[in-house]
Amino acid sequence: MIRATKHEWLKKAYFLFESKIIFPRKFKKIIVDEVPLKKGHSILLLQNHISWWDGFWGSYLAYKHLKKSYHEMVQESQLEKHIYFKYKGAFSIKKKSKELFESINYTTEILSNPQNMVLIFPQGRLQSLYTNEIILEKGLHKILKQAPANCQVIYNAVTINYFEGFKPTVRINLLDCGNASDINLDTLQEKLSTFQMKMMKKTI
């Protein structure tokens, strides 16, 4: 598997470049609906996977609002194409291979540090912004099972609109899902789908 860089200054440099240079050119504004954060907890951020920008929003959220060191799980084939992502916190996962378990163990190792955040796209693939039902990959169950007790799980339902001009407004809608050790996967899937539908209706 491909591991993320250990150089925090490099990840922060990417974040500053993106937030100060790229985002103002591409987006009108980014609005974040925040949730209470649990002190001394790492964060497992689950997010709907709708575009190329998903990881960039995750990095922005980690450093600007959650105050955590950013990490992101990416399909190995995609990370090989965009290898520079590893220098902003991305690491690989390869489905249907022995490396899958290595990636899961690496994820839980990162989450054992309360200063860290890991972004995962629980659907495992790109889906339309207008998809209401969130289907969770089985690998997420293993991550939740192995995650430390002091790991807070947050869902991010990103929504976008162009109501105000040529550049879109991005809204980051957060939902506190509780501690990883207390989560039931079936209940979580229903909870995320309900929240996703609610945020879509709110946007419309």
pLDDT at site 163: 73
Q: What is the mean pLDDT of residues 86-102?
A: 88
pLDDT at site 95: 81
Q: What is the mean pLDDT of residues 194-204?
A: 82
Six-digit token string for 45: 């951020």
The C-alpha atoms of residue 41 and residue 134 are separated, in whole angstroms, by 25
Q: Give the SS3 label for residue 164.
A: coil
Q: Is residue 126 predicted with pLDDT exceeding 60? A: no
Task: Provide the pLDDT confidence category of residue 2 given band limits of 50, 70 and 90.
Answer: very high
pLDDT at site 174: 96
Task: Provide the pLDDT confidence category of residue 172 given band limits of 50, 70 and 90.
Answer: very high
Task: Provide the pLDDT confidence category of residue 146 given band limits of 50, 70 and 90.
Answer: very high
The C-alpha atoms of residue 200 and residue 202 are separated, in whole angstroms, by 5
Instruction: State the average pLDDT for the chain.
Output: 89
DSSP annotation of 161 reads: E
The C-alpha atoms of residue 59 and residue 63 are separated, in whole angstroms, by 6
Q: What is the mean pLDDT of residues 74-93?
A: 93
pTM of the model: 0.92
The C-alpha atoms of residue 122 and residue 60 are separated, in whole angstroms, by 19
Of 8-17, 87-96, 102-111, the one with minimum mean pLDDT is 87-96
Residue 153: CA count within 13 A, CB half-sphere: 26
Which among 166, 155, 161 has a CA at the least distance from the CA of 190?
Answer: 155
pLDDT at site 52: 83
The C-alpha atoms of residue 118 and residue 68 are separated, in whole angstroms, by 9
Q: Is residue 120 predicted with pLDDT exceeding 60? A: yes
pLDDT at site 164: 67
Cβ burial, residue 197 (10 Å; 0-12/13-18/19+): middle
Those residues whose C-beta lies under 8 Å from the C-beta of residue 117, and which sit 6 or more positions away, are 42, 43, 44, 45, 62, 66, 68, 69, 70, 71
Contact 70, 7 (CB under 8 A): no
- The fraction of the chain above a pLDDT of 70, given in percent, is 94
